[in-house]
Amino acid sequence: MRIANLIQAGACFVNGAVGRAGYRIAEGDAVDLSFDEGAPTSMLPEAIPLEVVHEDDQLVVVVKPAGMLVHPTMSVKSGTLANALAYHMNQSSIDALPFILNPRSVTRPGLVHRLDRATSGLMVVAKTPRALTILSRHFRKRLIEKRYVALVRETVDQDSGSIDARIGRDADQLPHWRVMEDGRPAETRFNVLERLERATLLELEPVTGRTNQLRIHCAHIGHPIVGDEMYRDFEIRIANCEMKGVARDEQSAIRNSQFAIRLCLHASKLAFHHPANGDWISFSSPPPRDITEIIHRYRAQN
């Protein structure tokens, strides 16, 4: 974003002329870009506790908590996973004023993939440019294995299956990302782990990696993920059907108990080839306590 803004402001020159965004550099081109290396960035180190599953000189595997953004945005500049990682990776060099770190010596977290703010679970982050390049290529080639645990509404009859529905973006309608005929191909595989009273515990495998894919696909087949605020219209329809014949003074309490919960989606397994030696390494993370408590409540209704 910083470099893009500099290009837009005319601070980038190609062969002595102001460069434009999207220009394909040719052999022999001279590119000049001037900027202040000492200027603060949005990825300031912050001493935020992290659950580290594995770490070596090339990468770190962490469990992102629900409610935390992966990286800063235009409106949120702190409290993100990137802020926490910037501190974690440079802790030995940080003093009382972390923003005066020499930009040349800072180890920047290489964000290889993303999780929704509301989703918890495993993420791998590169610590070197080489590791970032290799892991990013592996993600593009679908050489990474990912599994999620999700609690969805109602009973899923099939023990296993695949959801194949194109996902696209409509800027004029909410939610913007949804199933669309002219969207990009998207596939999610699922296996039933446990059937509960009016809910099903699933293991989900995203074959593709579209925005909000798991949430969209589950809602698309009529089984939205419990606690999903973005696609809660599906949940509200289900709740309205359930509450036929229920006294009006009880309906509000039922709705509050149903919707005042977190998104029950957790990235539970992550496996990939280590960028340094190619070894296949695998990590797992059980659903956090807030999800297990919700699951226990559904079990109690059986």
Q: Which one of 32, 56, 116, 159 is the catalytic residue?
A: 116
Exposure of 63 in the CB half-sphere (CA atoms within 13 A): 17
Element (H, E) at 150: strand 145-153
Q: How many helices (H) and strands (E) does the chain have?
A: 7, 15
Residue 97: Cβ within 10 Å count: 7
Q: Rounded to an integer, what distance in angstroms lies between the CA atom of residue 200 and that of residue 220? A: 15
Spell out the residues 6+ positions from residue 178 whose beta carbon is closer than 8 angstroms to its own: 167, 168, 170, 216
29 is known as an active-site residue: no
Q: How far apart are the first and last CA of the chain?
A: 51
Structural contact between residues 116 and 212, judged by C-beta atoms closer than 8 angstroms: yes
CA-derived radius of gyration, the chain: 22
Q: What are the respective helix, strand and coil percentages of the chain, to the nearest 5?
A: 25, 25, 45
134-141, Cβ contacts within 8 angstroms, sequence gap of 24 or more:
134/275, 135/59, 135/110, 135/272, 135/275, 136/112, 138/272, 138/273, 139/112, 139/113, 139/209
Residue with tokens 């973005």: 230
Catalytic machinery residues:
116
